[in-house]
Structure 1
Amino acid sequence: MLKEERQNFIMKQLNLHNKVLSSDLCAKLNVSEDTIRRDLNELASNSQIKKVYGGAMSKSFSHSTGVRETYAQEAKRQIAKKALTLISDGMVVLLGGGTTIIEMVRMIPKDLRCTFFVVSPVVAMELIEYSECEVVLLGGTLLHDSYIVTGSMVVNQLADINADLCFLGTNAISMENGITDAIWEVVQVKKAMIKSATKTAIVSIAEKLDSLEKMKVCSINEINYLITDANPGESALSSYSKVLTVL
């Protein structure tokens, strides 16, 4: 595989999953660690990615400047509009992190009155900026790789919440393997959030359908809604629509 092809593959994986591990890239591309290291160094030097320990992150997750690049932003805005139809006044809502959730909170009507419990400081700041709702930022250890709080402190706080609805982004989703992620600490927080909510909605661009990461969050029948940018009637969603509500 040519260097350009490898680097295009790396960028595609980052756009879809926000983070890649060097070891996974070596296996998927069948190349050496030195080759992947050179590719990541070159992409980082061109400001296309952010290098982190063991791999790289999408620039969408770099909040060191006021400018953020968002992959498939229009698709995520379509998802956000659909997601907001599930929220009504008086609800208690749990929010995960990620760029789709950010697009969602930017569209919250000014007259909506809800309480949002949030595990991402970035999402909390956007909520304060764009809405008049009550915002409760849960405490814990801030994870560099995803900008959400993790650890036993946040899991214990979630156990005391009985939310009406939980919105989560996902790194991967499939009928067979359910919701999966690449970061163990994030998996534990997502599990606790699902347990603390009456209903859970997964927000994801359709490109992530039928993908898999190494760590399981939950099976597909543990969620209630799947919200994508695709038309619910499309064939790619037919199997999902048999077990949950697809928007």
Structure 2
Amino acid sequence: MLAIERRELLLRRLERDRRIVAKEIATELGLSEDSIRRDLRDLAAEGLLTRVYGGAVPASPAVADYAARTQIATASKHRVAATAADLVRPGSTVILDGGTTVLALVQQLPRSLDATFITHSPTVAAALIEHDAEVIVLGGRLFKHSAVTVGAAAAEAANRISADLFLLGVTGIHATAGLTTGDWDEAAMKRTLASRAAETYVLGSAEKIGAASRHPVLALDEITGLILDAPAGDPAADELRRTGVRIVTTG
């Protein structure tokens, strides 16, 4: 089998099974694991998948630039946002992550809501200007790709706060790879924010379910639950359910 044929087969198998186990497919094709790993490295370099221990999973489209992400799965993000908004209680203190799903969430919140919001996203903070709620912005180096602050100053500010709830955005939600994102510093900031909240829920629009990015944020057993927009019988969502993580579905 030619290399291009192997890679086409790997991509078809990834689309069907939502993961590739290098050892299993090497045995199936009568090839060495090294050959399959080389193919996976090449495909990962092209952004067509994300390598994980022992194989690969689908790459998340949510790592695109900020402007492009505003056009991805917009209806799904609004369904997730509407469900997440129900978790925000009057009088509570809530950490809001950055990202387009959180911006959709802000649109769902009553402007008269009595709450305190803490965010490291200037765009999320700006969206809350017309709300009655108190808004606290965590400063630091601006990571322009996601329009959030990161780095030592942002982490130091985050370590001085505490909250009832953190609504966390990631680019990948996978049963084995866990919760992932595309940048190392951003992943570290998300972990710091999660450590400051009593509960952490992850916002999971359709394009993130069953996908993964390069940098781990948290394991599934380190969060309170997932808010997922997935149809009944979705194999990636079913695999997440089998891990035992709490799942809140939209609709």
12, 27, 46: which one aligns with 1:26: 46
Q: Which amino acid aligns with 1:93?
A: V
Query: Aligned with 1:240: secondary structure?
Result: helix
C-alpha distance in structure 2 between counterparts of 1:109 and 1:58, whole Å: 26
Runs of at least 4 residues off by over 6 Å: none
What is the percentage of aligned positions where both structures have the same residue? 32
Amino acid aligned to 2:246: L
Tell me if structure 2 keeps the 8 A contact 1:224–1:245.
no
Task: Tell me the SS of whatever aligns to 1:103.
Answer: helix
For residue 111 of structure 1, what is the aligned residue in structure 2?
112
CA contact (8 A) 2:175 2:236 kept: no
Structure-1 residue corresponding to 2:245:
243
How far 1:208 sits from its partner (Å)? 1.5
Cα contact 2:221–2:245 (8 A) shared by 1: yes
Deviations 1:112-138 (A, max 9, x none): 111000110001001113x21111111
Query: What whole-Å deviation, never above 9, does each CA across 1:161-219 have from its counterpart, x for those lacking one?
Result: 12100011111111112111120110110010111111101112122212121111110
Q: Note the 1:113-128 alignment, pairs <5 A.
A: 113-128=114-129
Q: Give distance in 2, aligned partners of 1:157 and 1:240.
A: 33
Distance 1:28 1:77, change over 3 A: closer
Q: Which structure 2 residues correspond to residues 159-174 of structure 1 after superposition, within 5 A? A: 159-174=159-174
Q: Residues of 2 paired with 1:128 and 1:60: CA distance?
A: 25
- TM normalised by structure 1 equals 0.71
Between stretches 170-179 and 222-231, larger displacement belongs to 222-231
Asked if structure 1 preserves the Cα contact closer than 8 Å seen for 2:95 and 2:165, the reply is yes
Q: Secondary structure at the match of 2:88?
A: coil
Superposed displacement of residue 245, structure 1: 3.2
Cα distance in 1, alignment partners of residues 95 and 143 from structure 2? 18
1:101-159 Cα shifts (integer Å, max 9, x gaps): 00000111122111000110001001113x21111111101112111001111111111
Question: Larger deviation: 159-168 or 233-242?
Answer: 233-242
Once residues 230 and 26 of structure 1 are traced to their aligned partners in structure 2, the CA distance between those partners, rounded to angstroms, is: 27
CA distance in 2, matches of 1:77, 1:28: 27
Kindly state the Cα deviation for residue 234 of structure 1 after the two structures are TM-superposed: 5.3
- Does the CA contact (< 8 Å) of 1:70 and 1:99 recur in 2? no
The residue aligned with 1:59 is 67
Q: How does 1:81-100 map to 2 (within 5 A)?
A: 81-100=82-101
Unaligned 5+ runs, structure 1? 2-22, 30-54, 62-68
TM-score by length of 2: 0.70
Q: Per chain length, whose mean CA-contact separation is higher, i.e. which structure has more relative contact order (CA < 8 Å, sep 6+)?
A: 2
Q: Secondary structure at the match of 2:135?
A: strand
Q: Distance in 2 between matches of 1:112 and 1:233?
A: 36
Unaligned regions of 5+ residues in structure 2, if any? 5-42, 50-62
Query: For 2:64 and 2:175, how far apart are their aligned partners in 1?
Result: 28
Indicate the SS of the match to 2:65.
Answer: strand
- Which amino acid in 2 is paired with 1:132? D
CA shift at 1:233, angstroms?
7.3
The aligned amino acid for 1:84 is A
Distance 1:58 1:126, change over 3 A: closer
Return the alpha-carbon distance in structure 1 between the equivalents of residues 89 and 47 of structure 2: 46
Conservation of the 8 A alpha-carbon contact between 2:228 and 2:247: no
Q: Counterpart of 1:212 in structure 2: which amino acid?
A: A
